[in-house]
Structure 1
């Protein structure tokens, strides 16, 4: 005989199990995201190349007189002032030459005076007198020239600047006209930039020019287009542009080669942050936030029936926001912003966080952005 209590317990257990199986599993809450509105931002178009810096004021120093160097008062890297003594020369050879020139001048003078007397007495012709007069004048000019050369026995700086490589040393014999160093003024440098001629019509004086180290995006100096060559290089089809860069801190150097960007255009364009854009198979996408009605216009693989039931049952708010994966066309990244040329409109919101967990048609919870 069966026990009634056991039968009742078994029946109750079956009812409990059956009830549990009929309950639907709870859905996870919509993912939390942060979002920003599309906005207008200024973007620039530029020409990137490499340029060489040149000192605007570079003076090559050459000996105005020859001689053996007795004192060398400069070395590479020294800062000198205008009029500062640089080199002292031993001009014994020049002194000897001056004595020789004076002796020749005295002889020429005596000959001229003798023929001047003979010409008066008729013993010499006017032609002979003119010849000796010419010789005397030439000898006097030679003396003056040698004396002037001797006045340059001490070489001085014609202008202020920094001394470059010095190619002579004490004891060397330096020749007149021989370059022995240069003075460089690095407070202002000029970049010679070759821009493709196709950009000729878009170049203008005053356009910004930015310098950065090779392989770096960090701008280390900025200047402006100062001049544009009216001619195009026949071989390279380039147009020479010169830009001047102030260099009061001395960080830039004459002869330095740097990455150079000439900004030829600046305009306002619709933009989104770098963090809002994903790439799939070469196509850029953003997750735009939209309403259920917008999702229905482009459902993709979203389960519209399930989502609509959720809204009617109150599990999703009537004004719920949905992630709408939207293909976009973007330009070059600048200041952590992408210009949008196709796919979005002004003031539309796009997700900037949790993108890896989003799918098209997924409801989302928009959180306020964290304060900086």
Structure 2
């Protein structure tokens, strides 16, 4: 058979196609080999890396990443809760009598002291009642003085009449003795008897005058007390027209304005004291052995997870909720800087226990097949030059603490891990730590 002849161009096309097929076959083998992953648990280097990186010929081929050396930290056993802060002191101002708002003396957001005037109500009829009551009191006091003067006059007249009775009795006794001795006529004794009886009658009349004057004084005194009570009541109404703050705090919004008519019990504004705030926590009953007064509690911003306050448990209910099987507890937080507000939604973390341990950033974790890995750096030499490479290591993680994971096993203090660009890394990849 005659051997077929091909042109030079055809030979080049056939050679290129064979090369392409060989290249595709080798790429498929490498890809299949790269899918195999073997790693040891603990501080051991992976026995079979996911994919071996080619040897670095210089720093230009190394990936720039951020690294972090692992140090000893404090790990926490904690539980998270959510709720709203509640001011320890919060007062709703309401008028005790109805009236029209005449003036509002403070503004929303203003800090006031105890006794500060907040608003006043119209004083038209109330002020007139006060003036009328004061006038009635003055009249009653004048009547009392008059009655007291009349009593004094009646008592003086009684004293005078009583003296006359004594004189007439003495005169009668003397006349009686002289008549008995025959020195005077019996007619003189009758005259003396009549004079004594008249004097006694005058004394009895004077006693009645004194009694009447005394009764008038007592009535005048009662009138004064009644007028004074009426004045005091009218003055109370005037005081009630002036709404004052019973505590020191910050003024909230005003749902009313000048000119509005308000009834008894209607809210004018609210005064809130944010110096100390409480947070209600429903703690599961299975945590009761660990629950105690003074247990530290941290407040977290629900958006940034940063700690915005620190407090402690200050109340534990003596009963367990039968529905939720939880124990109502309260944590109090001081707010000297004024960063917290009444009604503010927060996350809280009760710290049950603290102990030494290792924390690593959550961004350093990669997950494969439901397991957690980190890239640990190692110093080596490539082409006789020092080079850092990474090894993928299996770790066992605990709870998330802020933006970090607790490491239960797989790492130790002093080792260095990669914290950026982990999706680009493979076993043995050369790296260049960023400054």
Place the TM-score, normalised by the shorter chain, in its bin. Answer: 0.5 to 0.7
Shift of 1:42: 1.2
Contact 1:66–1:91 at 8 Å: present in 2 too? no
Shift of 1:182: 1.7
Shift of 1:280: 0.4
Of 181-190 and 339-348, deviating more is 339-348
Pick from 68, 92, 103 the counterpart of residue 60 of structure 1: 92
2:396 maps to what in 1? 329
1:222 maps to what in 2? 309
1:168 maps to what in 2? 256
2:211 maps to what in 1? none
Residues of 2 paired with 1:198 and 1:137: CA distance? 70
Does residue 1:286 correspond to 2:312, yes or no? no
Residues of 2 paired with 1:214 and 1:351: CA distance? 28
1:252 maps to what in 2? 340
| Matches for 1:59-138 after TM superposition, within 5 Å | 59-94=91-126
* C-alpha spacing 1:97/1:238, structure 2 compared with 1 (3 Å): farther
TM normalised by structure 2 equals 0.53
Does residue 1:150 correspond to 2:150, yes or no? no
Which has a greater percent of helix?
2
The secondary structure found in structure 2 opposite 1:261 is strand
Shift of 1:365: 6.3
The secondary structure found in structure 2 opposite 1:83 is coil
* C-alpha spacing 1:166/1:270, structure 2 compared with 1 (3 Å): closer
* C-alpha spacing 1:338/1:169, structure 2 compared with 1 (3 Å): closer
Pick from 66, 73, 82 the counterpart of residue 41 of structure 1: 73
Pick from 358, 363, 367 the counterpart of residue 426 of structure 2: 358
* C-alpha spacing 1:36/1:177, structure 2 compared with 1 (3 Å): closer
* C-alpha spacing 1:176/1:94, structure 2 compared with 1 (3 Å): farther
Contact 2:72–2:357 at 8 Å: present in 1 too? yes
Gaps of 5+ in 2: 1-52, 141-207, 209-218
Residues of 1 paired with 2:54 and 2:364: CA distance? 24
* C-alpha spacing 1:175/1:357, structure 2 compared with 1 (3 Å): closer
Q: Which has the higher contact order (CA 8 A, sep 6+)?
A: 2
Residues of 2 paired with 1:51 and 1:273: CA distance? 27
Residues of 2 paired with 1:187 and 1:215: CA distance? 24
* C-alpha spacing 1:247/1:259, structure 2 compared with 1 (3 Å): same
Pick from 44, 51, 75 the counterpart of residue 83 of structure 2: 51
Residue by residue over 1:82-116, the C-alpha shift from the partner in whole angstroms, topping out at 9 and shown as x without a partner, is 3332223334544677769x99xx9xxxxxxxxxx
1:304 maps to what in 2? none
Residues of 2 paired with 1:51 and 1:287: CA distance? 39
The secondary structure found in structure 1 opposite 2:304 is coil
The secondary structure found in structure 1 opposite 2:399 is coil
Residues of 2 paired with 1:176 and 1:333: CA distance? 53
Residues of 1 paired with 2:256 and 2:390: CA distance? 75
Residues of 1 paired with 2:54 and 2:263: CA distance? 91
* C-alpha spacing 1:272/1:144, structure 2 compared with 1 (3 Å): same
2:55 maps to what in 1? 29
Does residue 1:339 correspond to 2:339, yes or no? no
Does residue 1:237 correspond to 2:325, yes or no? yes
The secondary structure found in structure 2 opposite 1:265 is strand
* C-alpha spacing 1:176/1:278, structure 2 compared with 1 (3 Å): closer
Contact 1:67–1:93 at 8 Å: present in 2 too? no
Gaps of 5+ in 1: 1-26, 107-120, 122-131, 293-313
Residues of 2 paired with 1:36 and 1:215: CA distance? 26
* C-alpha spacing 1:139/1:40, structure 2 compared with 1 (3 Å): same
Q: CA RMSD in A?
A: 4.6
Residues of 2 paired with 1:170 and 1:323: CA distance? 73
Greater Rg, structure 1 or structure 2? Answer: 2
The secondary structure found in structure 1 opposite 2:108 is coil
Contact 2:55–2:382 at 8 Å: present in 1 too? no
Residue by residue over 1:7-38, the C-alpha shift from the partner in whole angstroms, topping out at 9 and shown as x without a partner, is xxxxxxxxxxxxxxxxxxxx942586887665
Shift of 1:351: 5.9
